[in-house]
Structure 1
């Protein structure tokens, strides 16, 4: 997905009751940096950046609209109000109605029909050089940056239909993932996905979630460090048929995220 295309996942938020714990955990694990800025509601909003990134990739404010901690994936919108109306018709539930966002744009918070928190966001204007957020000289995500997302579901066809109708996503079966059926999500007009849907109908434990996936040079080493910092491993490191390694974890507050590394060079 092009980073700034409507329908693309371009941001994430963390709902948390303990901002310092978020900073301590992810700062230590992934090298994130944090910048507080004023928010329209009078509270402080904290921007999250990967080390060396030109632009932030996410943010958080203390407290959650529905009282639950967790990551929230944000989808770029050309018209937040129209998107919210369409998503409601498709079965989504509005958590926060459309209103001003911390950057002067407009956003809304919803839950998809499976109960996963998502938001739609329209920037006040397209930031210059937005793709620099993900570039590391060769087009790869920077270490610690948002490089992928995963929507796990116990009802793959229902989830595929919802997001196709909601944001125009198309799907490509990723046969390199052998542990479960997996489909890359692609926005119309783009050539590759930046996220995927995982069929968890036969999986143990949590089946439905929407989680960000962060790039790290060494997944097993990062998983070991995460557990030392209090994280819980849900899926131990797995390697796809084409050499990409990933793992799924929850942080000390139960917030779900994934780590991945690219196949070895050469």
Structure 2
């Protein structure tokens, strides 16, 4: 489970790069019940930059961020950040392991220090070295992040890379019906109940959303998967898979927002 006890290697933040910030805010507000809070541009009271970005809140607690997509040729997507104690050391580890630095480590005021990377096969992710901002305030509850997942063409290579860079522990489990193997991720030194995500091996043809490259996506907990899917399709999004039941996991669907940013909604199985 993901918690707000944000240990090194655990997800601590996520944000969405969207071509239309107000439209994205309205979509996720309708689907996940999020309230959008535009950032201030520093120009004084009431000077807000709604078209540039801000934060999402659920029940008053911050669950993620939203910003305008500015990278030329990039697709709209969620970026997942993992906590590290030293972003510069992590950057060196990424480079030694064959990854690419997309955004070099930089300070965001006294809030913290961030960097963004691509793994050797092209999967994009980010890290956060906290200052006074530790990360999101609500997880593993309806309307918040409950899991992270990488679709990749080479799970063995992903395990080697992320294990070396972020210190993750891995455990494999068979998928039902002989559908292959799913690899579970746990932060270094933590027990299995702190599993935070998974790796799923797919062919390049199945990764058309990112032109055959691996990609990470978030899984958001919901109370009713079918109602969430109705919200997705009723507000201009679409569904890639589901809703369907996964034994021991819950009822889930793989969705796209109106700008084709992918995410999963999951109503967890009742224990």
Tell me if TM exceeds 0.5: yes
Cα contact 1:109–1:120 (8 A) shared by 2: yes
Q: Does 1:72 align with 2:79?
A: yes
Deviation at 1:177, TM superposition (A): 5.3
- Partner residue in 2 for 1:161: 160
1:253 matched to 2:259: yes
Unaligned segments of structure 2, at least 5 residues: 43-48
How big is the shift at 1:218?
1.4
User: Given that residues 53 and 133 in structure 1 are in contact (C-alpha distance below 8 angstroms), is that contact kept between their aligned partners in structure 2?
Assistant: no
Tell me which residue corresponds to 1:46.
54
Classify 1:159/1:66 alpha carbon distance in 2 versus 1 (closer, same or farther; 3 Å).
farther
Q: CA deviation at 1:249?
A: 1.4
Give the equivalent residue in structure 1 for 2:185.
185
TM-score, reference length from structure 2: 0.84
Shift of 1:202: 8.6
- TM-score for both structures, normalised by structure 1: 0.85
- Asked if 1:113 corresponds to 2:120, the answer is yes
Alignment correspondent of 1:138: none
- The change in CA–CA distance for 1:9 and 1:66 in structure 2 (over 3 A counts) is farther
Matched, 1:214 2:220: yes
Aligned mates of 1:102, 1:227 — CA distance in 2: 39
Q: How many Å separate the matches in 2 of 1:255 and 1:48?
A: 16
Match of 2:39, SS state, is strand
Aligned counterpart in structure 1 of residue 106 of structure 2, from 99, 103, 107: 99
Listed as ranges, the gaps of 5+ residues in structure 1 are 135-140
Asked whether the 8 Å contact 1:110–1:119 carries over to 2, the reply is yes
Alignment of 1:244 onto 2:250: yes
Cα-Cα RMSD: 2.6
Matching residue of 2:12: 10
CA contact (8 A) 2:64 2:136 kept: no
- State how many pairs are aligned: 254
- Report what 2:30 is aligned to: 28
